[in-house]
Amino acid sequence: MKREEPNVEKLRVMSVFGTRPEAIKMAPLVQELKRYPEIESLCCVTAQHRQMLDSVMEVFHLQADCDLNIMAPRQTLSSITCKCLAGMDDVIDRMKPDLILVHGDTSTTFAGALSAFYHQVPVGHVEAGLRTYDRYSPFPEEMNRKMVGAIATLHFCPTENNRRNLARENITEGVFVTGNTVIDALKTTVRRDYTFSTDELNALPYGEKKIILVTCHRRENYGEPMKNIMLALRQIALENEDVELVYPVHLSPVVREAVQTYLAGTPRVHLIDPLAADEMHNLMARCYLVLTDSGGLQEEAPALGKPVLVLRRETERPEAVAAGTVKIAGVVQEEIAALARELIRSPAAYERMAHAVNPYGDGQACRRIAEAILWHFGRRAAPPADYCGSGEET
């Protein structure tokens, strides 16, 4: 792989993100990059999700250098992408970055990478190499990350399996196995003495009852799958008097309508507004079990020793399934309820999942990414050692 020629000026590395999950995973990296005297760390937000993004920025004490503020009511994938591309034109011309970092698989990710390509600025893809091999599930994320993979110069893979996925697509240069930056974020947010911002969360019977944390919001689950998931959640609450379900409900009107239709008024189901990143992480740390269609929670919960049932037909994160800490529950009501029932009522089944090894990182992903960037630009003699999935480096 050809490396860039070293220069005496600081490297201008601009991180671009726009949603809550991206911000959680990019915040520790933006902060890590600031630690290096050779790097000027810049932050550009698109605000694809305005309110939920802002809460993360506040938790991690981040200030954006550029804010595109694109969010609009009932925005479409096309409108998000077009606004991002138009806004990034001016940002790149003004900030003149040497490298643009994008994360994962959102419309902001794709548009940020494409805009960088149009300006001939190299792209670093954080959380590279995740695949389901179904272009419509998750939608539009699967194609977003494949297209970013084709554009990127540097690929920062959480796991060795992600590297193998890229190799199948003949992407073998500029690939680094770093672990997932979300594990770095958890080191900052989770505290034993944490106090929640609401009486409802502080008053939950942690330790006395089994607290189940729920999220469900993905586009591919809209319609019949989401109805089935909601009915399964209702069944779990009604069948098990020793559980309390806590569901921070996504702001999507489609999600909120489904939740109100099938879950409102159900005993032992707490429907609350979306949580700030630190509150979500600390609630996860104290819960018994996680039911989710989120990608990030599949990585975060295993790091906290919490079993996860994935409310989807497949996952682009098979490492935790193989390790035993995650199971695919699907989108059929009785199948979801049956898997939850087993974990609620069988201590042996629960312990097998709770004590599985987390494969996603050791809290050093941001350091590895920073050192890989410096090596690429000729500021380090050697690249960082890869994360091998066991808390060690190779």
Q: What is the pLDDT of residues 377-386, one digit of tens each?
A: 999 999 999 9
Give CA angle at 24 (85, 65), nearest 5°: 50
For CA atoms 41, 49, 70, 116, give the dihedral sign: positive
pLDDT of residue 31: 96
Q: Which of 149, 108, 158 is nearest to 369 (CA)?
A: 158
Of 22, 105, 300, 386, which one is the catalytic site residue?
105
| Predicted pLDDT at 72 | 86
- Which H helix or E strand runs over 41? strand 39-45
239 is catalytic: no
What pLDDT does 7 receive?
57
How high is the pLDDT of residue 49? 81
The DSSP H or E segment spanning 211 is strand 210-215
Please tell me the predicted confidence (pLDDT) of residue 6.
53
Active site residue 217: yes
**pLDDT for residue 358:** 82
Residues of the chain with pLDDT under 50: 391
CB within 8 A of 14, min separation 6: which ones? Answer: 42, 43, 44, 65, 91, 95, 97, 99, 100, 101
Which is the catalytic residue, given 125, 250, 286, 317?
250
Sheet strands (E) in 240-349: 243-248, 269-272, 289-292, 308-310, 326-328
pLDDT tens track for 280-311: 999 999 999 999 999 889 999 999 999 999 99
Q: What pLDDT does residue 389 have?
A: 74
What local confidence, expressed as pLDDT, does residue 181 receive?
97
Whether 105 is a known active-site residue: answer yes
State residue 8's pLDDT score: 59
pLDDT of residue 357: 79
Dist CA 14 CA 37 (whole Å): 15
Q: Is 67 a catalytic residue?
A: no
Containing 177, the helix (H) or strand (E) segment is strand 175-177
Among 145, 217, 367, 376, the one annotated catalytic? 217
Tell me the angle at which helices 107-118 and 141-151 cross, rounded to the nearest 10 degrees.
20
Residue partners of 151: CB distance under 8 A and separation at least 6: 113, 114, 116, 117, 123
